[in-house]
Amino acid sequence: MASVNKKRKVDREGRRFQDKWKFEYFFTEIRNNCVCLICQETVAVFKEFNIKRHYQTKHASYDKLTGNKRGEKVKQLEAVLTAQQSFFTRVPCDESTDASDTAQLLIFLRGVDNDMNVSEELLDLQSLKGQTRGTDLFVSVCSTVDDMKLQWNKVTGIITDGAPAMAGERSGLSSLVCNKVSEEGGSAIKLHCIIHQEVLCAKYMKYDNVMKPVIKTINYICSKALCHRQFQQFLLDIQAEYGDVLYHTDVRWLSRGSALQRFFSLREEIGQFLTKKGQPMPQLNDPVWLADFQYFSFLYL
Ligand SMILES: [Zn+2]
């Protein structure tokens, strides 16, 4: 009852979520809350002033996204949030259907190359005419894999949502794919909605082993003006791709992602510089640490 009364009061005062706030301030409405699509913080009042202030103080860097690009970013962030919401409420994801009610199966392919660059692309969209059991999905996936001339034994994992046709132990799509991969001499694991697991991992593990040394190094380079200038000069001398490391601020995810990305691309130069200054960073030569680092920075792109 409490929430109903509260909603009426809010309505009376004319404070409703306005759709334009999505595009202007990256906000959405979830269960009578204004939620920031970027950092997922909640702003309690439906007032443009508060929402605008949140956006301007925390995410002003998104101003550079305009027009279509801005609209696409809003959609993308909304999709991430919706996926997380459905994970937390544990509602099995519904089938995606098009306007004619034909179920559509979207198949994405994610790969990692030797330099740990991760790429993900939509591989195929299959319209499912009849039933949508695990075996029907499997037939569709097989035809895509054959059409694209992909090798089954290169598949290392399959990620699906929690619907029984996908995740069912015996005849769900993920089990059928894993069996097929073993028949072809490979080995694949089943994962459930990795995007949620990634977000949860990052949230709970906090990745201190990654963040602490990186922040320490960035602060070391940036906090002392002399050291900072020396680093810029050092980069000029070796003509690195970027001119400088980005200063990390703890409050902004975007800033965290950009700082990590740039740090990663400059890791060799940073390593050389620190060694020269007598402050070596041994993690930069540890492949396991670098893998953690790349994984974490990828999350906050
Ligand atoms: Zn925010």
User: pLDDT digits over 276-301, tens only?
Assistant: 888 899 999 998 888 888 877 766 54
Question: pLDDT band at 83, cuts 50/70/90?
Answer: low
Q: Distance, CA 25 to ligand 1 centroid (Å)? A: 9
Name the least confident of 26-40, 116-130, 283-297. 116-130
Q: Which two tokens stand for residue 121?
A: 């692309």
Question: pLDDT band at 25, cuts 50/70/90?
Answer: very high
Q: Distance, CA 45 to ligand 1 centroid (Å)? A: 14
Q: What pLDDT was estimated at residue 31?
A: 73
Does 180 score more than 90 pLDDT? yes
Range with the largest mean pLDDT of 97-106, 130-139, 196-205, 232-241: 130-139
Are 180 and 186 in contact by the 8 Å Cβ rule? The answer is: no
Higher local confidence (pLDDT), 102 or 250: 102
Q: What pLDDT was estimated at residue 253?
A: 42
SS3 content of the chain, % helix, strand, coil (to 5): 55, 15, 30
Q: Distance, CA 57 to ligand 1 centroid (Å)? A: 9
- pTM of the full predicted structure? 0.38
Q: What pLDDT was estimated at residue 256?
A: 58
Cα separation, 275 vs 291, in Å, equals: 21
Q: Distance, CA 253 to ligand 1 centroid (Å)? A: 9
pLDDT-above-90 percentage for the chain: 13
Q: What pLDDT was estimated at residue 171?
A: 87
Question: pLDDT band at 84, cuts 50/70/90?
Answer: low
Q: Distance, CA 55 to ligand 1 centroid (Å)? A: 6
Listed residue (102, 189, 174, 186) closest to 141, CA to CA: 174
Residues near 64 by beta carbon (within 8 Å), at least 6 away in sequence: none
Q: Cβ–Cβ contacts within 10 Å for residue 34, how many?
A: 22
The structural domains of the chain, with segments of one domain joined by +, span: 2-89, 103-192, 207-299
Q: Distance, CA 146 to ligand 1 centroid (Å)? A: 44
Q: Distance, CA 252 to ligand 1 centroid (Å)? A: 8
Q: Distance, CA 36 to ligand 1 centroid (Å)? A: 5
Q: What pLDDT was estimated at residue 30?
A: 79
Does 89 score more than 80 pLDDT? no
Q: Distance, CA 47 to ligand 1 centroid (Å)? A: 15
H-helix or E-strand containing 138? helix 134-147
Give the dihedral sign, CA 152/153/154/156. positive
Does 100 score more than 60 pLDDT? no
The count of residues in the chain is: 301
Name the least confident of 8-17, 22-31, 254-263. 8-17
Does 48 score more than 60 pLDDT? yes
Q: Distance, CA 61 to ligand 1 centroid (Å)? A: 12
Q: Distance, CA 34 to ligand 1 centroid (Å)? A: 10
Name the least confident of 94-98, 179-183, 254-258. 94-98
CA atoms within 13 A on the CB side of 48: 7
Q: What pLDDT was estimated at residue 85?
A: 60
Q: Distance, CA 68 to ligand 1 centroid (Å)? A: 21
Q: Distance, CA 75 to ligand 1 centroid (Å)? A: 16
Q: Distance, CA 84 to ligand 1 centroid (Å)? A: 16
Question: pLDDT band at 185, cuts 50/70/90?
Answer: very high
Listed residue (189, 179, 133) closest to 158, CA to CA: 189
Mean pLDDT of the chain: 76
Task: Bin 238: left if φ > 0, else alpha if -120 < ψ < 50, else beta.
Answer: alpha
Q: Distance, CA 94 to ligand 1 centroid (Å)? A: 29
Q: Distance, CA 40 to ligand 1 centroid (Å)? A: 6
The pairs formed by 32-36 with CB atoms below 8 angstroms and a separation of 24 or more are 32/3, 32/6, 32/7, 35/81
Vertex 186, ends 184 and 191: CA angle to 5°? 120
Cα separation, 231 vs 138, in Å, equals: 54
Does 87 score more than 50 pLDDT? no
Q: Distance, CA 29 to ligand 1 centroid (Å)? A: 13
Q: Distance, CA 182 to ligand 1 centroid (Å)? A: 45
Residues near 188 by beta carbon (within 8 Å), at least 6 away in sequence: 155, 156, 157, 158, 177, 178, 181, 182
Cα separation, 74 vs 68, in Å, equals: 10
Q: What pLDDT was estimated at residue 9?
A: 44
Q: Distance, CA 59 to ligand 1 centroid (Å)? A: 6
Q: Distance, CA 76 to ligand 1 centroid (Å)? A: 15
Q: How far is CA 162 from CA 73, 192, 275, in A?
A: 26, 7, 49
